[in-house]
Amino acid sequence: MKNPLTALITGSGHRLGSSMALFLSEQGYNLVIHYNTSKKEAENLAHIIEKNGRHAYCIKVDLAKTPEKLIPLARRTVGNIDLLVNNASIFPEGSIKSFSATEIINVLKINSLAPLLLGQTYVKSQVQGNIINITDGNACNFNERYQIYRISKILLETITIEQACLYAPHFRVNAIAPGIIIPAVGEKQTETLLLKTPLQKKGSMADINSALWYLINSDYVTGQIMYIDGGLHMGKV
């Protein structure tokens, strides 16, 4: 019998990360659940996955301080990692007019630099694999309230393409850019985004999981940004 595949998802204690972890466990994957502060949520998720017949392992790492520790810790626990999903993000509100240098650096560390360094460590630790970065369908649209977050996600899209070129042919690297799936903003801001979305509706985690599954199984696809956003990235005015 073929050994089960293993996925590592950063920030998988809640929101998109949790849903993707549950979905992959239903497809037969074992999971490494990374968290920083969401210990209870991560442990609850692991319990559900174990109850459903798959293995789940929780690992705490602060991606702003020691991202290079995560892959070695995970590999010592589970061995080969078939899929790395860089999902962990922070989304503080504010513009480049008001953010301090320390605040800007912290956002870039988690949203951009951590996926870059995790990818670097990942490809050095095994002979092949698959990386999927989670960006944002609204990243390229001007929004002063979340400027540094948007900039960090634009940078992650660039990192995705650079990684895809650099790490081929033994590693594929793609990204998923969600639109309005599980909004992190208030109701008023969500309604504003809906007005800018050509399809005029919210998406669901089923849409994200379908894209995730496509990228996992499409071995002739790399360097792609899949916008699962109802057209939001096109910047409808």
How far is 52 from 146, CA to CA, in rounded Å?
A: 38
Question: Which among 24, 18, 53, 7 has a CA at the least distance from the CA of 211?
Answer: 24
The rounded distance, in Å, linking the Cα atoms of 157 and 134 is 9
Q: Domains for the chain: give ranges and CATH numbers.
A: 6-232 (3.40.50.720)
pLDDT at 1: 39
What are the two backbone dihedrals, phi and then psi, of residue 31, each rounded to the nearest 5 degrees? -125, 140
Q: Which residues of the chain have pLDDT under 50?
A: 1
